[in-house]
Amino acid sequence: MGQQATERSHGHYIGGEWTDGHGSETFESENPATGETLAKFRRGTTADVETALEAADSAFEEWRSLSYIDRAEYLWDIYHELRDRHDELGEIVTKECGKELSEGKADVTEAWHMVEWAAGNARHPHGDVVPSEVAGKDAYMRRKPRGVVGCITPWNFPVAIPFWHMAIALVEGNVVVWKPAEQTPWCGQIIAEMMADAGVPEGVFNMIQGFGDAGAAIVDDDRVDTVLFTGSAEVGHGIADAVGGEPGKLAACEMGGKNGIVITEEADLETAVHSAVVSSFKTTGQRCVSSERLIVHTDVYDEFKTRFVDLATDVVVGDPLEEGTFMGPAIEAAHVEKIREHNDLARQEGANVLVDRFELPDEEIPDGHEAGHWVGPFVYEIEYDSELRCLTEECFGPHVALIEYDGGIERALEIHNDTPYGLAGAIISEDYRQLNHFRDRAELGLAYANLPCIGAEVQLPFGGVKKSGNGYPSAREAIEAVTERTAWTMNNSTEIEMAQGLSVDL
Ligand code: UN1
């Protein structure tokens, strides 16, 4: 499927074949900047999930028997294709999820970085050699694939995040059943085509287009050994609960955040303003790592506020394919409403609104894009109070609060940590003691100093604490979720000598 939308509806990829599946319903992929239909897809049913799980299950034995290096070969093909088609795919990402073009391309870059990391990992030593307390014994830890890995991925990184999950799962010898986000099925289709073109053996990789019912069917099935999920806290907590009750089954979920940036009295304000604008408004605030709280020391508050408000007033909201656009539209009409509700909630809770570009004026909407899901920055200041819902509930949009604090870094951290989430955050300060204190005490998984809190590199662990996650479905740490560990102890002598001095006299 190339750059053009087609009339026919695209199906699922199951057991090495394209299929329309059991259902008759279809759904459409929409360009959020124009409202135009990009392509039509078959809506997967629980019966399609069943077929995919069967195909995966029967492919497992053969796939796990290959060497790591042989499994990685298939991914190297995909790595080259992602690189060769980088710009073309970046444009498709932008058309389907509305991120501006440099971000659409960065999504593809992140995907090939992840594939490179996972395939390269095949030649990396795995496991530990452990000294035995008995001289005649060898002890070590060996990893084994868990089996069927169910992957459920979000629309905001429609190429990168599927590879966060799947690349490492496959290299480690697992088979995959994947449901792309229903908002970005075109990217799902392209990734499945890549897997097919790379010759990934039948049943090893399966893709079902569909909605929450298909996702739930993956999560609930007994054949699924691990569920990897990246997406909303609401869905992720449901998955964690469903899987948590089943011994032997694992879920690694990475969810939302109410991410904060602390700007201390020692901050370089240029760095602060730059980091805050990028973290709050890039991707239209629709990253799980986007910042929605700026916690600013009273000594620099007024100057920071003036400069931040100026930039928030000026950032270009527009056609994401156009050079010079800073942020594109929201993903869909329902999400615009959700952002509106968060803005209203802040107002009801006493926000002093500094920038309200939520209803983008007609003259700012690019020609031919009137049906797009436009929203602009919403910036407010509010006095900190731990009871405020607007400071604890995630909006997932260009919605950000300025909170003034007085006191030391401890006070900033008290405010920073006062959310149920703990995904990403940053501190802007020239004082290394403040930086180190933030690193050690901020409750989060991804901490940045003098940088925006978006833009993590794939070789670092990506995940959060508290309500932001219960495991790492991505990057380096995902290996833990897709492998079992066998502690192997082998006797090299003819005597049986036990650990802990246990006697074996018969
Ligand atoms: C997300 O926010 O949903 O760290 C994923 C980043 C990207 C991944 C973001 N590498 O901003």
> Is the CB of residue 288 below 6 angstroms from any atom belonging to ligand 1?
yes
Contacts 24+ apart (CB under 8 A), 66-72: 66/173, 68/121, 68/122, 68/123, 68/126, 68/171, 68/172, 68/173, 69/122, 69/123, 71/122, 71/170, 71/171, 71/173, 72/118, 72/119, 72/120, 72/121, 72/122, 72/123, 72/171
Please give the pLDDT value at position 87. 98
Please give the pLDDT value at position 180. 98
The confidence band for 477, taking pLDDT boundaries of 50, 70 and 90, is confident
Beta strands 224-230; 250-254: pairing state? parallel
The confidence band for 1, taking pLDDT boundaries of 50, 70 and 90, is low
Q: Tens of pLDDT along 63-115?
A: 999 999 999 999 999 999 999 999 999 999 999 999 999 999 999 999 999 99
> Is the CB of residue 456 below 6 angstroms from any atom belonging to ligand 1?
yes
Q: How far is the CA of 97 from the centre of ligand 1 (A)?
A: 14
- Among the listed residues 151, 187, 288, 390, the single catalytic one is 288
Q: Quote the CA–CA distance of 344 and 236 in Å, as a whole number.
A: 26
Run of H or E including 133: none
Please give the pLDDT value at position 506. 81
Q: Is the dihedral of CA 242, 247, 249, 251 positive or negative?
A: positive
Q: How far is the CA of 454 from the centre of ligand 1 (A)?
A: 6
> Is the CB of residue 181 below 6 angstroms from any atom belonging to ligand 1?
no
Please give the pLDDT value at position 361. 93
Please give the pLDDT value at position 99. 97
The confidence band for 473, taking pLDDT boundaries of 50, 70 and 90, is confident
Q: Tens of pLDDT along 127-144?
A: 889 999 999 999 999 999
Please report the atom of ligand 1 found closest to the CA of residue 154.
3
| CATH placement of domain 12-255+472-484 | 3.40.605.10
Contact (Cβ atoms closer than 8 angstroms) between residue 296 and residue 434: no
Q: How far is the CA of 263 from the centre of ligand 1 (A)?
A: 22
Rounded to a whole number of angstroms, the distance between the first and last alpha carbons of the chain is 71
> Is the CB of residue 461 below 6 angstroms from any atom belonging to ligand 1?
no
pLDDT average, residue stretch 221-229:
96
pLDDT average, residue stretch 270-298:
98
Domains 12-255+472-484 and 259-449 share a fold: no
Q: Tens of pLDDT along 421-461?
A: 999 999 999 999 999 999 999 999 999 999 999 999 999 99
Q: Quote the CA–CA distance of 141 and 488 in Å, as a whole number.
A: 6
Please report the atom of ligand 1 found closest to the CA of residue 457.
10
Q: Which residue has the tokens 């099935």?
A: 221
443 is catalytic: no
Name beta bridge partners: 387: none
Q: Tens of pLDDT along 301-329?
A: 999 999 999 999 999 999 999 999 999 99
> Is the CB of residue 455 below 6 angstroms from any atom belonging to ligand 1?
yes
Please report the atom of ligand 1 found closest to the CA of residue 456.
4
Q: Tens of pLDDT along 341-361?
A: 999 999 999 999 999 999 999
From 67-71, 407-411, 471-475, the region with the lowest mean pLDDT? 471-475
The confidence band for 249, taking pLDDT boundaries of 50, 70 and 90, is very high
* pLDDT above 60: residue 2: no
Q: Is the dihedral of CA 80, 82, 83, 89 positive or negative?
A: positive
> Is the CB of residue 394 below 6 angstroms from any atom belonging to ligand 1?
no
Q: Quote the CA–CA distance of 56 and 229 in Å, as a whole number.
A: 18
Q: Quote the CA–CA distance of 82 and 93 in Å, as a whole number.
A: 13
Return the domain boundaries, the chain.
12-255+472-484, 259-449
Question: Across the chain, what does the average pLDDT equal?
Answer: 95
Please give the pLDDT value at position 244. 84
> Is the CB of residue 110 below 6 angstroms from any atom belonging to ligand 1?
yes
pTM of the model: 0.96
Please give the pLDDT value at position 455. 96
Contact (Cβ atoms closer than 8 angstroms) between residue 206 and residue 55: yes
Please give the pLDDT value at position 259. 98
* pLDDT above 80: residue 252: yes
Please give the pLDDT value at position 323. 95
Closest alpha carbon to 214 in 43, 42, 334 = 43
The confidence band for 246, taking pLDDT boundaries of 50, 70 and 90, is confident
* pLDDT above 60: residue 392: yes
| CATH placement of domain 259-449 | 3.40.309.10
> Is the CB of residue 454 below 6 angstroms from any atom belonging to ligand 1?
yes
Q: How far is the CA of 286 from the centre of ligand 1 (A)?
A: 9
Please give the pLDDT value at position 333. 97
Let me know the angle formed at the C-alpha of 123 by 121 and 124, rounded to the nearest 5 degrees: 60
How is 294-338 classified by DSSP, letter by letter?
EEEEHHHHHHHHHHHHHHHHHPPB--TTSTT--B---S-HHHHHH
Task: Look at ligand 1, atom 7, and give the residue with the nearest C-alpha.
Answer: 455
Q: How far is the CA of 399 from the centre of ligand 1 (A)?
A: 17
Q: Is the dihedral of CA 404, 406, 411, 412 positive or negative?
A: positive
Please report the atom of ligand 1 found closest to the CA of residue 156.
3
288 is catalytic: yes
